[in-house]
Structure 1
Amino acid sequence: MKIAALFPGQGSHAVGMGVDIAGRFTAAEQVYAIKEDTLPGLRELVEAGPFDELTLTANQQPALVAASVAAYRAWVQHRGLTPAFAAGHSLGEYSALVASGALDLADALRLTRRRGQLMQEAVPVGVGAMSAIMGDPQVVQDVCAATPGVVQPANFNAPTQTVISGEAAAVAAAGAELKARGLKAIPLKVSAPFHCALMQPAQDGLSPDLNATAFHAPQFPVYANVTAQPATDPAALPDLLARQITGSVRWVETIQALHAAGATVFIEFGPGTVLTGLVKRILPDARTLNVGTAEHIEDFSL
């Protein structure tokens, strides 16, 4: 049995996430103590809201990292298991790196707070857009390449689900062409056009922080979003995380690569079940589990 630990990205947050875990497991409580020491006030926001403030990118990103890492560390403490691999969807890559020991939690919290601020500031509200496209991903890539302006695949989430991102007019034009070709296009309510060239200012702004951060050799391979391959060299991690801001999240290839490497169980750590659903669409026969509450940890069995 080989476990692949998966960590969610933005959109999986909720007021109160991880609070019950911190109340029952010392490993999780230590995560929340580090969060409060590093970013004062964030713990209270997670515990009590308001939701709108927690949803702000600069708050949501470090809060989700803390909740995901707390769930993971409590599970390790209670069950004594260790994954063979890890991967995170977009923001979740930071959680995966913390879980592997490649990145200190306090550094991850500071980096993701800065990452969230930069991503929100990179594009004025209304300039960018994102849409979820249902259909052949190759058609999506072809249409994006042929559409004037900035529009590109941002997330290859499932075999027939690709999210596109870019300038609002270009995303709308690409969506209209994709609909004309028989695909389905669903505009998304997002605060910024993530994972596209418009995020270059955010990439440029975060790169110095990443390069100044100490990364360590991971205890197990973490599969990078931009390559869908295991990243084991700590010297390569700052560049992979920087490129992720403007690059596509190659989630389908990542899950397929984990399966090819021998992963037999996929466990999503943190709030929500988004990644579990995507894994089932990529590998219908895969065994999947969620660890997002204290009850999940206490009742966990393989």
Structure 2
Amino acid sequence: MTDTPSTCALSQDTALPAPPPARRVERVQVRDGVVSAGERAVPEEVPVALTFNGTTHAVMMASPTDISDFALGFALTEGIVASAAEILSREVIVVDEGIEARMWIAEEKMKHLSARRRALAGPTGCGLCGVESLVEAVKPAALVTADTRFSPATLLDAMATLGPLQSLNHETRAVHAAAYFEPGRGILALAEDVGRHNALDKLVGKAAEAGFDTARGLLLLTSRVSIEMVQKAAVLGVGVIAAVSAPTSLAIRTAEAAGITLCAIVRQDGFEVFTHPGRIALPSPERQNHVA
């Protein structure tokens, strides 16, 4: 393990306190023609710089919670590292402009990351330009081999337990959540963020830190399912995604290729299965007809 340069860290007494995840703001409400003054809680949103070996790789707008988990999850889902053990050190520093999540990785990993960034950087400074960037955007997800099966009731119960645990969303009604659920154990990890991708990255980081055997459980999402969400779910290693909203066409194709069971529009009265239905213990057609 290489030593982390001393210039990487700020001492605790020079660091600023983290911003609160929500703030109360004044607003004027108009309801049924009645105007009233008051306050509303709104989520905080701050720039988070994700740096590796002193170099900024990305700046994301995110909720100022679980930033260390966010950094780890981002590093994993972006393929910068393959496991938490490959991050030599990690620290979160609050500065006037936002938050820095500073990570140090082995030099060979950093060389690979630097080469990848050079291949993706476009001449206009957009960061993702050209054929290489298009390929990177739609890269195949990791193949998932989890074989745990779930009953329809388990999916519905899991989603029903998610809402009461979304404390930041209860306060603001403006953030997404991602959660990891196991039958018989319930929701073992949950993350909230103003960004759905960020919430899932935070969850990936939490699961990696806890060492969960994610092949046993399923992923719960409060958002629509796009290709990036499927790619991140594949890194998490779950066999089933259950989301309250609908998937995109590309997300369906990606889940199909990755071997992931994609369940969406999960509501109190049921859900829809788009890929690999074998992990869901659906009633046989004969039983459905008998019940009808």
Q: Report the TM-score when normalising by structure 1.
A: 0.22
Q: Which has the larger radius of gyration?
A: 2
Structure with the largest fraction of strand: 2
Instruction: Provide the TM-score with structure 2 as the length reference.
Output: 0.23
Higher relative contact order (CA 8 A, sep 6+): 1
| Larger helix proportion of the pair | 1
